[in-house]
């Protein structure tokens, strides 16, 4: 259930770079396979050097043989050329950040069995130097503009982390003395009195441990805590003069865990009272995030959600406020689209941002005082991140429907590919080009989505078809490469990726339409895409499958309680009995805001929960999830499996050990893909091969 993220303004938008990008093609091409997933390298986090001459970035590679993921930092000339590896194989490193003088790159790594720490690398080469030694992970870092200090974000260390840190220091000290290794101590209980007491990939939030700002002085090698208190501080950024830090925090409400409020705050970087004296820049009851200073230090740009009552369903707008606090000005009020990642141009005349629009993400800009919005990188593509140099050059991380993310620059307004990490692989592959299609829902609402046809599809031929509802629900399918629809298309399926009501990119009314009403309008919209594919003569109505992950799993659950059109279903990390999630997952605010307290609104919880309509499910259903997922706990899958088993339905439950909501272990991802194909091939296509892969991975047992 992971939540993510006008027409009058859209008509005025200028498209400077509306292009279609494809990888070079080889003479002979082949269909994509499961193993190709592990050959695709993830290019992320572009960072331009201050002079605009170099781009640092990370490349993440899943290593199936060793069952791990490896991340390395690379550097490439901004004008194009051969990339240079800044970090070695075998040790993951991420989050590269240039010093303001362009001489160094600081990054995060957990090498040498330490926590995630800050390391420093000379741009000219040499060995990396470790800067920080903390009991806990360093979560974020930012350089001061004099290149002498780093602002850091750290979560308060737990008692166990402090003890382990001390034990490691003692161990290092005792190694020369031949001391025996100490036996691990039994962990004590979690003692909790916070309202928000869980978070996926962290677990129990005990001891009121919060994230706070610190400043590391490179000359003195000293670490100073700048903020404190029972609040989480995030998104740190330096003022241009290096005297202040802006950050995001929910400090203006009595209980930060009870509301979605967050404001922009400013604190002195030389602060010695741990944040006792702060300046509150914004005072809206909504959510303000992503602060960005103007070059003269007088203004801060940020995103704001104007309607806090609908939380994630509400549109994020771009706003500016005086850095010392004062009246806010919303610049994109007429643009009913989600805005993220604002940044001032080096001359302060414009503010750049990413806009979520119509199944795409484009890089846009607006005059700092407001006015016409233009798009330096526009078109049917996906801008996932961008960076800007002091000289004004821009580097962007861009994907298209048939090419994974690579880095681009835009000299003279022309989108120019700089990295070619995946070109060789994609030149080998024959892909299905996802078509962006429009159709009408049951009540006449216009809906859109991406449709993938099988390879070598012949017009008029009806083929097995898979409906894949997306996660969120406040998210969407975009014009970006995805392995799964390509894999299904390579195996003879048409694939439907609808953006039903609840999706972003179509305005707040479209997103908000399913508020407290899951499984109604979004169900109609999802089924409308199925009807569209049938009417077009593409989908075989007798060979339909459905499946999704997170809210896509939730959608699958309510779809198969309302229709028997599908021959097979796969419910991944979905919810089934909504009331049982309250107090068990990490969405306590969401449940109360959207559905109310369960004991006060029992009828609504029961009305929406697929659990109470389980007897109508006859579709063979494969249920999946991770055993330590606190986003959508496996409890849901277990309840669904138990109910279907009790009714004598065809079902199977697959629980992956040590996996959170987003899977990370390569062998588990491969196993999941193999099960997808086996289940659909057997029940949708009617293949004789079993619905469960014949070769089963060895299950982990206690003590393994």
Q: 549 in helix, strand or coil?
A: strand
pLDDT at 349 over 90: yes
The tens digit of pLDDT for each residue in 538-550 reads: 999 999 999 999 9
Q: Cα–Cα distance between 53 and 46 in angstroms, integer?
A: 13
For residue 268 the two structure tokens come to 């002195």
Strands 360-367 and 568-572: unpaired
Q: Cα–Cα distance between 40 and 157 in angstroms, integer?
A: 36
Among residues 547, 541, 608, which one has the least CA distance to residue 581?
Answer: 608
pLDDT at 167 over 80: no
**For range 211-236, the mean pLDDT:** 96
Q: How confident is the model at residue 315 (pLDDT cuts 50, 70, 90)?
A: very high
For residue 84 the two structure tokens come to 């240079």
CA distances from residue 307 to 234, 300, 355, 516, 616 in whole angstroms, order as listed: 22, 21, 19, 16, 38
Place of tokens 């075998």: 90
b/e per residue 452-488 (b: at least 16 CB within 10 A): bbbbeeeeeebbbbbbbbbbbbbbbbbbbbbbbbbbb
Residue 599: exposure state from Cβ atoms within 10 A (0-12, 13-18, ≥19): exposed
Q: What is the CATH number of domain 450-567+579-685?
A: 3.40.50.1820
Q: 541 in helix, strand or coil?
A: strand
Q: Cα–Cα distance between 136 and 490 in angstroms, integer?
A: 45
Does residue 403 contact residue 21 with C-beta atoms inside 8 Å?
A: yes
> Which residues sit opposite 473 in a β-bridge?
none
Q: Cα–Cα distance between 533 and 462 in angstroms, integer?
A: 9
pLDDT at 76 over 50: yes
First CA to last CA distance, the chain: 30
Q: Residue 28: CB partners within 8 Å, gap ≥ 6?
A: none
Q: How confident is the model at residue 180 (pLDDT cuts 50, 70, 90)?
A: low
**For range 294-302, the mean pLDDT:** 98
Q: Cα–Cα distance between 406 and 221 in angstroms, integer?
A: 36
The DSSP line for 322-377 is ETT----EES-TT--SEEEEEEE-TTSSEEEEEEEETTEEEEEEEETT----EEEE
Residue 372: exposure state from Cβ atoms within 10 A (0-12, 13-18, ≥19): exposed
Does residue 437 contact residue 448 with C-beta atoms inside 8 Å?
A: yes
Q: Residue 516: CB partners within 8 Å, gap ≥ 6?
A: 594, 595, 604, 608
The DSSP line for 566-582 is -SEEEEES--S-GGGGT
Q: Taken in order 123, 126, 127, 133, is the CA torsion positive or negative?
A: negative
pLDDT at 75 over 50: yes
Q: Cα–Cα distance between 27 and 121 in angstroms, integer?
A: 42
What pLDDT, on a 0 to 100 scale, did the predictor assign at position 172?
61
Q: Cα–Cα distance between 536 and 460 in angstroms, integer?
A: 8
CB atoms within 10 A of CB 420: 16
Does residue 505 contact residue 357 with C-beta atoms inside 8 Å?
A: yes
**For range 376-384, the mean pLDDT:** 97
Report the chain's mean pLDDT, rounded to a whole number.
Answer: 92
Does residue 353 contact residue 365 with C-beta atoms inside 8 Å?
A: yes
What pLDDT, on a 0 to 100 scale, did the predictor assign at position 702?
37
Q: How many helices (H) and strands (E) does the chain have?
A: 11, 41
The tens digit of pLDDT for each residue in 440-495 reads: 999 999 999 999 999 999 999 999 999 999 999 999 999 999 999 999 999 999 99
Query: Residue 222: in which H helix or E strand, if any?
Result: strand 222-225
Q: Residue 110: CB partners within 8 Å, gap ≥ 6?
A: 92, 116, 117, 137
Q: Which residue has the higher pLDDT, 55 or 272?
A: 55
Q: How confident is the model at residue 601 (pLDDT cuts 50, 70, 90)?
A: very high
> Which residues sit opposite 548 in a β-bridge?
571
What pLDDT, on a 0 to 100 scale, did the predictor assign at position 125?
79
Q: Residue 132: CB partners within 8 Å, gap ≥ 6?
A: 117, 118, 138, 152, 216, 223
Q: 318 in helix, strand or coil?
A: strand
Return the percentage of the chain with pLDDT > 70, whole number: 92
Does residue 418 contact residue 76 with C-beta atoms inside 8 Å?
A: yes
Q: How confident is the model at residue 25 (pLDDT cuts 50, 70, 90)?
A: low
Q: Cα–Cα distance between 579 and 576 in angstroms, integer?
A: 9
Peptide bond into 473 cis (omega under 30): yes
Q: How confident is the model at residue 8 (pLDDT cuts 50, 70, 90)?
A: very low
Strands 222-225 and 233-238: unpaired
Q: Cα–Cα distance between 613 and 602 in angstroms, integer?
A: 16
Q: Residue 502: CB partners within 8 Å, gap ≥ 6?
A: 313, 472, 473, 474, 510, 511, 513, 514, 521, 522
CB atoms within 10 A of CB 283: 14
Phi, psi (rounded to 5 degrees) for 439: -155, 170
The domain segmentation of the chain, as residue ranges, is 450-567+579-685
What pLDDT, on a 0 to 100 scale, did the predictor assign at position 123?
87
The tens digit of pLDDT for each residue in 113-155 reads: 789 999 999 988 788 999 999 999 999 999 999 999 999 999 9
Strands (E), 270-337: 279-280, 287-293, 299-305, 316-322, 329-330
The tens digit of pLDDT for each residue in 677-704 reads: 999 999 999 999 999 997 654 444 333 3
Alpha-helix runs per DSSP H in 219-289: none
Q: Cα–Cα distance between 70 and 88 in angstroms, integer?
A: 10
What pLDDT, on a 0 to 100 scale, did the predictor assign at position 176?
52
pTM (2 d.p.):
0.93
What number of residues does the chain have?
704
The tens digit of pLDDT for each residue in 48-62 reads: 999 999 999 999 999
For residue 615 the two structure tokens come to 């007897």
Does residue 410 contact residue 397 with C-beta atoms inside 8 Å?
A: no
Does residue 574 contact residue 25 with C-beta atoms inside 8 Å?
A: no
Q: Cα–Cα distance between 689 and 680 in angstroms, integer?
A: 11
Q: Residue 519: CB partners within 8 Å, gap ≥ 6?
A: 555, 558, 559, 562, 608, 610
Q: How confident is the model at residue 19 (pLDDT cuts 50, 70, 90)?
A: very low
According to DSSP, residue 413 is labeled G
Q: Cα–Cα distance between 484 and 559 in angstroms, integer?
A: 21
Q: Cα–Cα distance between 677 and 442 in angstroms, integer?
A: 31
Question: Of 10-24, 29-43, 123-137, 316-330, where does mean pLDDT reach its minimum?
Answer: 10-24
Q: Residue 659: CB partners within 8 Å, gap ≥ 6?
A: 625, 626, 627, 628, 629, 665, 668
Q: Cα–Cα distance between 306 and 336 in angstroms, integer?
A: 11
Does residue 85 contact residue 421 with C-beta atoms inside 8 Å?
A: no
What pLDDT, on a 0 to 100 scale, did the predictor assign at position 165?
83
According to DSSP, residue 36 is labeled G
Q: Which residue has the higher pLDDT, 193 or 686?
A: 686
């Amino acid at each position: 259930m992971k939540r993510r993220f006008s027409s009058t303004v859209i008509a005025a938008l200028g498209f400077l770079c509306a292009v279609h990008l494809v990888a070079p093609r080889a003479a002979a091409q082949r269909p994509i396979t499961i193993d190709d997933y592990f050959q695709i390298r993830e290019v992320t986090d572009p960072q331009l050097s201050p002079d605009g001459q170099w781009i640092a970035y990370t490349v993440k590679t899943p290593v199936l043989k060793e069952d791990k993921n490896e991340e390395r930092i690379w550097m490439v000339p901004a004008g194009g050329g051969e990339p240079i590896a800044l970090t070695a194989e075998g040790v993951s490193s991420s989050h590269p950040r240039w010093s303001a003088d362009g001489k160094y790159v600081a990054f995060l790594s957990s090498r040498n069995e330490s926590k995630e720490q800050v390391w420093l690398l000379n741009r000219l080469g040499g060995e990396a130097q470790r800067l920080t030694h903390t009991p806990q992970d360093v979560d974020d870092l930012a350089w001061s503009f004099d290149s002498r200090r780093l602002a850091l974000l750290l979560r308060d260390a737990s008692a166990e982390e402090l003890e382990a840190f001390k034990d490691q220091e003692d161990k290092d000290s005792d190694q020369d003395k031949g001391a025996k290794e100490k036996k691990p101590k039994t962990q004590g209980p979690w003692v909790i009195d916070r309202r928000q007491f869980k978070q996926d990939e962290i677990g129990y939030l005990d001891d009121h441990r919060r994230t706070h700002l610190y400043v590391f002085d490179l000359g003195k090698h000293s670490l100073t805590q700048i903020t404190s208190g029972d609040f989480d501080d995030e998104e740190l950024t330096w003022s241009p003069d290096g005297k202040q830090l802006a950050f995001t925090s929910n400090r203006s409400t009595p209980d930060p865990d009870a509301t979605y409020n967050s404001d922009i705050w400013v604190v002195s970087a030389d602060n010695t009272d741990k944040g006792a004296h702060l300046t509150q820049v914004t005072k809206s009851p909504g959510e303000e995030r992503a602060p960005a200073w103007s070059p003269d230090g007088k203004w801060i740009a940020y995103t704001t959600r104007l309607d806090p009552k609908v939380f994630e369903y509400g549109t994020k707008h771009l706003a500016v406020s005086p850095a010392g606090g004062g009246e806010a000005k919303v610049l994109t009020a007429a643009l009913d689209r989600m805005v993220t990642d604002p940044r001032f141009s080096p001359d302060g005349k414009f503010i750049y941002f990413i806009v979520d629009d119509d199944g795409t993400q484009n890089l846009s800009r607006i005059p700092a005082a407001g006015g016409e919005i233009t798009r330096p990188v526009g078109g049917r593509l996906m801008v996932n991140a961008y960076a800007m140099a002091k000289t004004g050059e821009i580097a962007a991380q861009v994907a298209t429907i048939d090419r994974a993310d690579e880095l681009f620059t835009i000299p003279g307004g022309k989108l120019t590919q700089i990295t070619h990490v995946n070109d060789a692989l994609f030149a080998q592959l024959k892909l299905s080009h996802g078509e962006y299609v429009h159709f009408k829902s049951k009540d006449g609402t216009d809906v859109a989505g991406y449709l993938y046809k099988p390879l070598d599809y012949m017009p008029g031929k009806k083929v097995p078809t898979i409906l894949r509802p997306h996660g969120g629900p406040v998210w969407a399918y975009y014009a970006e490469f995805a392995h799964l629809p390509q894999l299904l298309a390579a195996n003879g399926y048409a694939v439907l990726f609808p953006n039903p009501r609840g999706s972003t990119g179509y305005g707040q009314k479209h997103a908000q339409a399913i508020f407290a009403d899951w499984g109604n309008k979004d169900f109609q919209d999802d089924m409308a895409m199925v009807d569209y594919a049938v009417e077009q003569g593409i989908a075989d109505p007798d060979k339909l499958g459905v499946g999704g992950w997170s809210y896509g799993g939730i959608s699958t659950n309510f779809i198969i309680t309302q229709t028997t059109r599908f021959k097979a279903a796969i419910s991944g990390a979905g919810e089934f009995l909504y009331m049982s999630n309250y107090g068990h997952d990490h969405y306590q605010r969401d449940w109360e805001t959207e559905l109310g307290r369960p004991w006060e609104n029992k009828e609504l919880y029961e009305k929406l929960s697929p659990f109470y309509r389980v007897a109508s499910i006859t579709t063979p259903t494969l249920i999946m999830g991770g055993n330590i997922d606190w986003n959508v706990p496996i409890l849901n899958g277990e309840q669904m499996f138990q109910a279907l088993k009790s009714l004598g339905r065809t079902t199977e439950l697959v629980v992956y050990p040590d996996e959170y909501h987003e899977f990370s272990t390569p062998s588990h991802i491969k196993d999941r893909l193999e099960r997808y194909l086996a289940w659909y091939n057997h029940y949708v296509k009617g293949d004789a091969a079993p619905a469960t892969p014949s070769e089963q991975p060895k299950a982990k047992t206690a003590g393994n």
